[in-house]
Chains A and B, each alone.
Chain A
Amino acid sequence: MFALAAVALAYVAVPLLGLLFEVEWSDLGEQLSSSESLTALRLSLMTSVVATIAVIFVGLPLAWVLARVSFPGRGFVRSFVLLPMVLPPVVAGVALLAAFGRNSAIGGWLHDVLGVQLTFSPAGVVVAQTFVAMPFFVVAFEAALLGRDSQPEEVASSLGADSWRVFTRITFPAVAPAFFAAVALAWARALGEFGATITFAGNVAGRTQTAPLGIYLQLGTDPGAATAMSVLLLAISVGILVGLRGRWLVGR
């Protein structure tokens, strides 16, 4: 048992340590500040933040409805929402293309009427990231809501508070730590998004080339830059894990 457990641990640790050995620490800063890397990082940061805001905006009401409102087919909706979590990201990308590509009904309407093109645009990156990151937020936040006793909420409504006031004053303060954990999970997933992004939004430098895409491309031309950027993404992931310690991933 212990031997196999150690193998599993090593399986996670060895590649990450390899990455740390591979990187040239002396010119890490220089590698990251190259204009190509900076552009990709900036794009990643902006799109993932916008995607995370979008996830919160619609995912929060969804999690609340799933946790608090009983309706026929709730079990089905609950599983359906999780689909992007298990779906191969490239399939997600193809699905998004089918729905929002220029040749699809919705994509065509967006382009012709509103002049918005999602493919090959930063907006498309946001759409792809939102699609894959949403379930992470919904699952985590719904679990937190379900774990709460609903009695204080009932009392609050009996005291004349409407559902918005009950949520903002009673429910949310009680689940705020779990909310931020769920946000961090969704953001991490959006930041690392690769498959759906490259399929749906393409790989246009400066427009849709996010950090993961940049890493993949530079691996052939400039391995040092790719490694440096990988280390930075690893550092962000570790930062998120440390922030979540004991909240969601550990000790539940």
Chain B
Amino acid sequence: MRLHASVDRRAGDFHLQADLEVPDGTTTAVIGPNASGKTTLLRVLAGFLRNDNGEVVLGKQVLDSGMGGTYLDPSRRNIGVVPQGYALFENMDSVGNVAFGIQSAGVRRQAARRKAAEFLEAFGLQELSALKPAELSGGQSQSIAVARALAIHPDLLLLDEPFSALDSAARPRMRSQLRGWLAEARTTTVLVTHDPIDALTLADRIVVLEGGRVVQSGTTGDVTSNPRSAHVASLLGTNLLKGEAQGRRVAVRDLRSSAADEARGIDLTLSEGASGAVFVMFAPSAVTLSVSEDVTSARNRILCTVDHLEQLGERVRVSLGGDVHLSAEVTPMAVAELGLAEGSQVWASIKATEISTYPR
């Protein structure tokens, strides 16, 4: 079912104000840094928190219309919830966990357990049926928690950081399993995550929350090819700056820089003309480093200081400071040849053809 939510909720100093549209049968990922309001948003949708203002509508049913208006108790919303730690019922085996919702709907215990067992079998989880939560691994717990939520055939499925409790080795397999289940169930889904891989692999659409506000929303392709916030850019591991373009010249500053930092910044040359306020994006792998100024043919050269070096797989991520902050990706061999270390000075070069711009 289609979800339309206009959430407005205060909690102390924090104010969440976010609109969310999730088309029927699709998955929307809500991403954002810690304390951006992701979990609060999910809790309002589930009905664990009341909305202060605005409507939450699922299909044609109004679930919450703000203070003084309609409010449906969570038990009367047909919404499946998978919380961050999974919150399995410790005193029940897997069948009991999955049967709980079926039984709550009025099905007798034996019949509910039989249905739950069939459900687990359909999910390929029958060997876990008789196990208690304490006997399950992290991945198995997640599977049972998702099965438990889907067993009530929810109109909306809410997943809060479904992989954060898992070790990184288990994540890819669990991600592809969840992807299969979501595709099969075709349930409208809202997924909260801080991991861009989750959003890229599981979601049709992405909503970016920052400080309780939606800073960007759109299809997964839109958001990743045109990030509009430092958070998304750093999640995607790309360089994102803001600039004022005039033809093929663009004056570039850090995204978070204020008017007071006006003097700081650099000029870059573009391969295609642009005008006005733009975002400037280029991949860390498009940044090459050298110790002297005249080694490469790239037109854009910037003198930087190495802030930080970090091994990422077979590459080294070099965080650079100076008039703007950049990151570059080089081979460990290049680090050795250039003699890079925290504090050393390098020239960063970016080919004009590697830089893309889009309006702010």
Q: What residues make up the interface of A, taking CB atoms closer than 8 Å to B?
A: 149, 151-152, 154-163, 165, 169-170, 173-174
Task: Out of A149, A158, A163, name the residue touching B81 (CB < 8 Å).
Answer: A158
Do A160 and B152 touch across chains, with their CB atoms under 8 A apart?
yes
A170 CA / B75 CA spacing, docked (Å): 14
Task: Out of B88, B90, B104, name the residue touching A165 (CB < 8 Å).
Answer: B104
Task: Out of A149, A152, A160, A173, name the residue touching B101 (CB < 8 Å).
Answer: A160
Task: Out of B73, B85, B104, name the residue touching A159 (CB < 8 Å).
Answer: B104
CB<8 Å pairs between A and B, sample of 11: A155-B83, A155-B87, A159-B104, A160-B104, A160-B105, A162-B75, A163-B75, A165-B104, A169-B89, A169-B100, A174-B91
Do B83 and A154 touch across chains, with their CB atoms under 8 A apart?
yes
Do B87 and A154 touch across chains, with their CB atoms under 8 A apart?
yes
Do A159 and B152 touch across chains, with their CB atoms under 8 A apart?
yes
Task: Out of A158, A161, A162, name the residue touching B79 (CB < 8 Å).
Answer: A158
Which residues on the B side are within 8 Å of A158 (C-beta)? 46-48, 74-75, 77, 79-81, 149
A161 CA / B47 CA spacing, docked (Å): 14
Which residues on the A side are within 8 Å of B75 (C-beta)? 157-163
Do B90 and A174 touch across chains, with their CB atoms under 8 A apart?
yes
Which residues on the A side are within 8 Å of B104 (C-beta)? 156, 159-162, 165
B253 interface residue (CB < 8 Å to A): no
Q: Considering residues B73, B104, B148, B152, which has the most beta carbons from chain A within 10 angstroms of its beta carbon?
A: B104
Do A156 and B89 touch across chains, with their CB atoms under 8 A apart?
yes
Nearest Cβ on chain B to A129's Cβ, whole angstroms:
33
User: Lowest 4 CB-CB distances: which A-B pairs, in order?
Assistant: A159-B101, A160-B104, A151-B87, A158-B81
Task: Out of B83, B100, B148, B149, name the residue touching A161 (CB < 8 Å).
Answer: B100
Binary contact track B225-239/A, C-beta < 8 Å → 1, others 0: 000000000000000
Do A154 and B74 touch across chains, with their CB atoms under 8 A apart?
yes
A155 CA / B83 CA spacing, docked (Å): 8
A134 CA / B89 CA spacing, docked (Å): 30
A155 CA / B101 CA spacing, docked (Å): 10
Which residues on the B side are within 8 Å of A159 (C-beta)? 75, 80, 100-101, 104, 148-149, 152
Q: What residues make up the interface of B, taking CB atoms closer than 8 Å to A?
A: 46-48, 73-81, 83, 85, 87-91, 100-101, 104-105, 148-149, 152
Which residues on the B side are within 8 Å of A155 (C-beta)? 81, 83, 87, 148
Q: For residue A162, which residue of chain B has the nearest CB?
A: B75
Inter-chain CB contacts under 8 Å: number: 64
Do B87 and A157 touch across chains, with their CB atoms under 8 A apart?
no
Known: A151-B83, A160-B101, A160-B152. A170 touches B73 (CB 8 A): no
A9 CA / B46 CA spacing, docked (Å): 54
Which residues on the B side are within 8 Å of A152 (C-beta)? 87-90
A169 CA / B105 CA spacing, docked (Å): 15
Which residues on the A side are within 8 Å of B90 (C-beta)? 152, 174
Do A149 and B77 touch across chains, with their CB atoms under 8 A apart?
no
Q: For residue B154, which residue of chain A has the nearest CB?
A: A158
A56 CA / B90 CA spacing, docked (Å): 25
Do A154 and B81 touch across chains, with their CB atoms under 8 A apart?
yes
Which residues on the A side are within 8 Å of B100 (C-beta)? 156, 159, 161, 169
Which residues on the B side are within 8 Å of A160 (C-beta)? 75-76, 78, 101, 104-105, 152
Which residues on the B side are within 8 Å of A154 (C-beta)? 46, 48, 74, 81, 83, 87
Q: Considering residues B46, B78, B85, B89, which has the most beta carbons from chain A within 10 angstroms of its beta carbon?
A: B89
A174 CA / B80 CA spacing, docked (Å): 22
Which residues on the A side are within 8 Å of B149 (C-beta)? 158-159
Do B91 and A173 touch across chains, with their CB atoms under 8 A apart?
yes
Do B46 and A149 touch across chains, with their CB atoms under 8 A apart?
no
Which residues on the A side are within 8 Å of B78 (C-beta)? 160
Which residues on the B side are within 8 Å of A165 (C-beta)? 104
A155 CA / B146 CA spacing, docked (Å): 12
Which residues on the A side are within 8 Å of B74 (C-beta)? 154, 157-158
A55 CA / B242 CA spacing, docked (Å): 67
Which residues on the A side are within 8 Å of B148 (C-beta)? 155, 159
Nearest Cβ on chain B to A23's Cβ, whole angstroms:
45
A170 CA / B149 CA spacing, docked (Å): 16
A165 CA / B79 CA spacing, docked (Å): 18
Nearest Cβ on chain B to A164's Cβ, whole angstroms:
11
Which residues on the A side are within 8 Å of B105 (C-beta)? 160
Q: For residue B80, which residue of chain A has the nearest CB?
A: A158
Q: For residue B79, which residue of chain A has the nearest CB?
A: A158
Which residues on the B side are within 8 Å of A156 (C-beta)? 89, 100, 104
Nearest Cβ on chain B to A150's Cβ, whole angstroms:
9
Q: Considering residues A155, A160, A170, A174, which has the most beta carbons from chain B within 10 angstroms of its beta carbon?
A: A155
Known: A157-B75, A158-B80, A160-B152. A151 touches B85 (CB 8 A): yes
Which residues on the A side are within 8 Å of B47 (C-beta)? 158
Nearest Cβ on chain A to B148's Cβ, whole angstroms:
7
Which residues on the B side are within 8 Å of A170 (C-beta)? 89
Nearest Cβ on chain B to A115's Cβ, whole angstroms:
44
Q: For residue A170, which residue of chain B has the nearest CB?
A: B89
Q: For residue B160, which residue of chain A has the nearest CB?
A: A151
Do B79 and A149 touch across chains, with their CB atoms under 8 A apart?
no
Q: Considering residues A156, A158, A160, A173, which has the most beta carbons from chain B within 10 angstroms of its beta carbon?
A: A158
Q: Considering residues B79, B83, B148, B149, which has the most beta carbons from chain A within 10 angstroms of its beta carbon?
A: B83
Q: For residue B105, which residue of chain A has the nearest CB?
A: A160
Q: For residue B145, which residue of chain A has the nearest CB?
A: A155
Nearest Cβ on chain A to B43's Cβ, whole angstroms:
8
A149 CA / B87 CA spacing, docked (Å): 9
A159 CA / B85 CA spacing, docked (Å): 17
